[in-house]
Amino acid sequence: MADKPMSRRLILTGGLAAVGGAAAATGVGVLRARDEVVENQDEPIVVEPFHGRHQAGIATVPQGHVAVLALDVAEGVDADRFAAVLRMLSHDAERLTRGEAALGDTEPQLATHPARLTVTFGFGYALFDKLDLADRRPDDFTVLPEFTVDELDPAFVGGDLMVQICSDDVTAVAHAMRMLVKDSRSIMRVRWVQRGFRQTTPVIEPGATPRNVMGQLDGTSNPTTDELDAVVWRDGPDWLRDGSTMVIRRIRAEMETWDAVDPAAKDMVIGRRNDTGAPLTGRSEHDEPDFDAVDGLRLPVIAANAHIRRARLSDGRRIFRRAYNYDDQLTPHGIPDTGLLFIAYQSDVTTFVDMQRRIDEADMLNSWVTPVGSAEFLIPPGCRPGGWIGETLLG
């Protein structure tokens, strides 16, 4: 079948832009609806611009599907060769996100409906050593320690290059991943792949907080759009300005035992009412928790080891979540391998480490969740038209 002619006229649609406004108004923490429409003869194609000050896929209104993959660079590959491949991957991503086939795509028809496809790249700790660039790695970027609650599977740990692929169409995710892997395997091999999903419109209202596989509203405490500069984006070193750091934790939910907990106890574990998401001291989801409130017995209304108390740092530092779930195989007895793809962006990974240490010490929720995967990445800034992701470091 012949390709449909596609114009280059991009128009910002008011309806889609309103999604971001609705999200910001609720304080949920998403963010910017940068959606554009590429018009063709039959129907509009919704796209997210690849170029910009920041990489897409972070402050973008979250899509319904994600695949995160980590690749390892082969021994002997130098910075110049890695840069050449990364330049090619950026070019692939630029074309795919606007609904055009990548060069050499043998199935170009799969690229015509990107459904807000975004591709985000990140650099792992060991990559800098492999490329003899250790002096360019920020001192505050470290490998996460293993926490006492962790039962890490090496199959979901580490990686040199991270690629996060998001779209509202799982086919677009699969096709983009196929193209990017094909164009990287001359110097890299796949270390791991994790696929996830989340509630989006029309299942939930624009800007509403999605529920995870444990039934909880997931992302209530996210920063608003106006707070992202302080929470997510970095101001140095020069090559990383307007970039970020990413932590991904694969957290298995112990659903068989969680299912046995009564609703009131679940509320106590989290510190929120599961039906509304309101803190136990409030009436609506976005009410500020009152951690000083006590009941008639002079006991804290929000327990000292409730999740929302343990996940809060006293100095006000925060992370930004792109909350996704995973749901893989069942055992022969019907026990699910399901849980959270805990993707967090913050300007400094020490914020995440300090928060996780508090959770590790005394969070009631630890009885029902088990981290089985962990990785951290530096997220370089976005690029201009004609540029490529990573050129501030490697160009």
Q: What gap in Å lies between CA 80 and CA 87, rounded to an integer?
A: 10
Exactly one of 218, 267, 360, 363 is catalytic; name it: 218
Coil, strand, or helix at residue 340?
strand
58 near 99, Cβ under 8 Å? no
Query: 50 vs 58, 222, 357, 382, CA distance in Å?
Result: 12, 24, 35, 8
Q: What gap in Å lies between CA 262 and CA 332, rounded to an integer?
A: 26
Residue 186 sits at φ, ψ, to 5 deg, of -65, -25
The reply to whether 218 belongs to the active site is yes
Q: What gap in Å lies between CA 231 and CA 210, rounded to an integer?
A: 21
Q: What gap in Å lies between CA 179 and CA 327, rounded to an integer?
A: 24
Q: What gap in Å lies between CA 219 and CA 311, rounded to an integer?
A: 12
Residue 315 sits at φ, ψ, to 5 deg, of -90, 5
Fill in the DSSP letter of residue 327: E
Query: 290 vs 138, 218, 227, 305, 364, CA distance in Å?
Result: 37, 20, 21, 14, 19
Residue 239 sits at φ, ψ, to 5 deg, of -70, -20
C-beta neighbour count of 265 within 10 angstroms: 11
For residue 312, give both structure tokens.
Answer: 């809060």
CA atoms within 13 A on the CB side of 140: 16
Q: Which helix (H) or strand (E) holds 119?
A: strand 118-123
Q: What gap in Å lies between CA 230 and CA 237, rounded to an integer?
A: 16
286 near 248, Cβ under 8 Å? no
From the number of C-beta atoms within 10 Å of its C-beta (0-12, 13-18, 19+), residue 60 rates as buried
Q: Which helix (H) or strand (E) holds 195?
A: strand 188-197
Residues labelled as active-site residues: 218
